[in-house]
Structure 1
Amino acid sequence: MHGRPRYPRPNTGDPQKLQAAEQRVQLYSRLTSTVLKRLQAGQYDKETLDLAARLLEQNPEVYTVWNHRKRALLATLSKGGDTAAEAVKAELALTQRALEKHPKSYATWHHRRWLVAQHVTSLQQEVDLVNRLLEADERNFHGWGYRQFLMELMQAAPEDEEAYAAAKIDHNFSNYSAWHLKTRLLKKVHHQSPTVTLDDLISAKSSAAAAEERLVPFWALRQELELVTQAFYTDPGDQSPWLYHRWLLGCLLAHAQTGKNKEEIVSLLQQEVAVCKDILELEDTAAPDGKAASSIKWPSLTLAQLHELLCSVAPSSFDNEQTDVRLLYRQLQDIDQLRAGFYTDASKGSAKILVQSAT
């Protein structure tokens, strides 16, 4: 599950438990030695593979053993038919047993991907399985990555995947993986309309025009900003929606680099400034004598970013914003002392919180 160590620490306070643990280590060492010797000698008989399975259920990070099992399976897969399907089914069952004990095992997830890529098993069954996993552990990034791998194999519609991510966010705003998936899908779902006039077709030959067509339209950005604002007010100290908001600002910056729609860009940035100020005011009212650093760090940092963006988009109109930026960075030195040195440099103009253009 998310938030727990990959492997539990042994209890060394009880001598009997410590002795039992030492015995298990000795048995594990002998099993590892036996399995590796047999596999390196090319022994892929049933007894060896059964021993290898026992080893992997205890420690699935022995990736060499997974690789040997791939070699053993290839001979069976070359025969095709029911034999291949049954072999893959049995191997999938092994990975499932390993993942139930070790859900963060990179080697096991990689082996399962390889099995599915052989195209002899049901992709929908795999989707159902990983969906159940994400219901139990909704922030398991291994599960999210595996689900995206399956969706690519199935050539799933980006609209369907965006709806899945949105549902996960509605259930829990603090789902980093769901927000991240939206950054991958938003341009696919909300692409600009195709060019229709002769002039448009001619201009589309340039890289700048082609990049402009990949921009997320303003109406979609407004919609996403409204969604993420709800998350801000729910828990202003949760960094996951703020990071998604930074990506949305990058989408706005990409629009600004085209030199078009300046007024609309400025309007959206000012709207976000108002949101951050309102959140800070609410937090100040809720805890006037000692505001929680986690609840005001992100709106303060984002407010500084917004002021910097306004200065870059319309410098002649927002030169006075620089004073606000320096003040915010000085406040952040006290709020987030771990990064006080960075904010000191930022207030002097020698470091900046960068928002990259999302093109």
Structure 2
Amino acid sequence: MHGVKRIRYTKEALEAKRQKDRTKLAEYLALTDEVLTKKKHADWSKAAFDLTTRLLQVNPEFYTVWNYRRDILLNGIFPKTTPVEINDILATDLSFTTAALKLHPKVYWIWNHRRWCLEQVPDGPTEEDPNGWKQAYWNKELFVVEKMLDVDARNFHAWNYRRVVLGSMPVKRPLRAELDYTTRKIEANFSNFSAWHQRSKVLATLWEKGELDQVKSKEDEYELVKNAMYTDPNDQSVWIYHRWLVGTGEDYDILIREIGAIQDLLDIQPDSKWCLESLVFYKRALLQYHSARMSAAEQHNLIDQCLEMLETLRTVDPYRRQRYADMRKEVLGARNAIA
């Protein structure tokens, strides 16, 4: 690899390294065999639990061992402990997975185990406050996820987990606060697909609950996404979000307006794949939903524009030439259907 300094080993050093690797592999295989044997015999002891810790530190993707670890807790350790002690054990396991995530932030099984730990938090600390411990844990978990996203704002594992956290908190975080969070992440990087996706979910819920004026807020979203388009017209996530905003295309005025805005951008960026593809998509929506507004000549003109853009796409995006050829056949089929 460029920029990586190659290490030249002597024959003796190379053999020593190979021997060290063989020793490590043998130790790993022996540890794996020991853990799986204990699992086979339903060993729920603390000693078996400690062995799973050692093995998962070496291989955090060993999901069978994560499952075994949870079985040990449920069947061997938790039944013998008080709620306060269970709390301490779970806190230790969360610390264990925090350290693992710093090295392996995209290993699903680590995130999954954290979720399981949080779901096991007992009621307390008092009968009057049964959600006290749980809320404290989930609040802290939201903080942990935000720190992970500060390191890698596009880690979709962290974003998926964030939705789990928000949905599991006994006292829910206000949706407006989550909308503001996605705004900050998007403004920091328009290419953050996960932030756009999260934003669409939050907005849909706010609209459904009637907590946000849909017409006005959609106009704000069109302005936000337009800024993103002009900043980086080649970023896929922005165009996918725009398509979600437009929806099926049944609103004629919105379609016409957005087609005009994209056409303006295409005039500046004539080889923009996403401008061209979006224009084809929206103009076909016009033909599908609003042909009654147009004469046959106007429909034919739209189809000719789509065919011309599809031909350009075959040039600017040659890896998808066949896809555009198939779309061309569909558009030609629509032309033949026009009276």
1:306 aligns with 2:282: yes
1:114 Cα deviation (Å)?
Answer: 0.7
5 Å-filtered alignment, 1:98-177, equals 98-120=100-122, 122-154=137-169, 155-177=172-194
8 Å contact from structure 1 (residues 191, 216) kept in 2: no
Per-residue CA deviation, residues 163-201 of structure 1 (Å, 9 max, x unaligned), is 21122111111111111112212122134869xxxxxxx
After the TM superposition, which of the residue ranges 237-246 and 160-169 deviates more from structure 2? Answer: 160-169
5 Å-filtered alignment, 1:160-309, equals 160-191=177-208, 217-250=214-247, 253=249, 256=250, 265-284=251-270, 296-309=272-285
1:351 Cα deviation (Å)?
Answer: 9.5
Q: Which amino acid aligns with 1:242?
A: W
| C-alpha distance in structure 1 between counterparts of 2:331 and 2:18, whole Å | 55
Per-residue CA deviation, residues 308-330 of structure 1 (Å, 9 max, x unaligned), is 11222321325121111111111
| C-alpha distance in structure 2 between counterparts of 1:166 and 1:80, whole Å | 43
1:41 Cα deviation (Å)?
Answer: 1.7
1:48 Cα deviation (Å)?
Answer: 2.3
Q: 1:87 to 1:174 in 2, by over 3 A?
A: same
1:203 alignment counterpart: none
Percent identical among aligned pairs is 33
Which structure 2 residue ranges, 5 or more long, are not aligned?
1-5, 123-133, 334-339
| C-alpha distance in structure 1 between counterparts of 2:225 and 2:214, whole Å | 17
Higher-RCO chain (CA-CA 8 Å, sequence separation at least 6): 1
Per-residue CA deviation, residues 272-302 of structure 1 (Å, 9 max, x unaligned), is 1122122222224xxxxxx5xxxx0011100
8 Å contact from structure 1 (residues 57, 97) kept in 2: no
Which structure 1 residue ranges, 5 or more long, are not aligned?
1-10, 195-214, 257-264, 285-290, 353-359
Q: 1:216 to 1:308 in 2, by over 3 A?
A: farther
Give TM-score, length-normalised by structure 2: 0.82
Structure 1 or 2: larger helix share? 2
| C-alpha distance in structure 1 between counterparts of 2:236 and 2:103, whole Å | 30
1:202 alignment counterpart: none
1:48 alignment counterpart: 48
| C-alpha distance in structure 1 between counterparts of 2:208 and 2:147, whole Å | 31
1:340 to 309, 321, 332: 321
Give TM-score, length-normalised by structure 1: 0.77
| C-alpha distance in structure 2 between counterparts of 1:313 and 1:223, whole Å | 25
| C-alpha distance in structure 1 between counterparts of 2:103 and 2:319, whole Å | 36
1:30 alignment counterpart: 30
1:216 Cα deviation (Å)?
Answer: 8.2
8 Å contact from structure 2 (residues 149, 155) kept in 1: yes
Q: Which amino acid aligns with 1:329?
A: L
8 Å contact from structure 1 (residues 228, 245) kept in 2: yes
1:331 to 309, 312, 315: 312
State the secondary structure of the residue aligned to 2:269: helix
Q: Which amino acid aligns with 1:272?
A: E
8 Å contact from structure 1 (residues 186, 216) kept in 2: no
Q: 1:41 to 1:192 in 2, by over 3 A?
A: closer
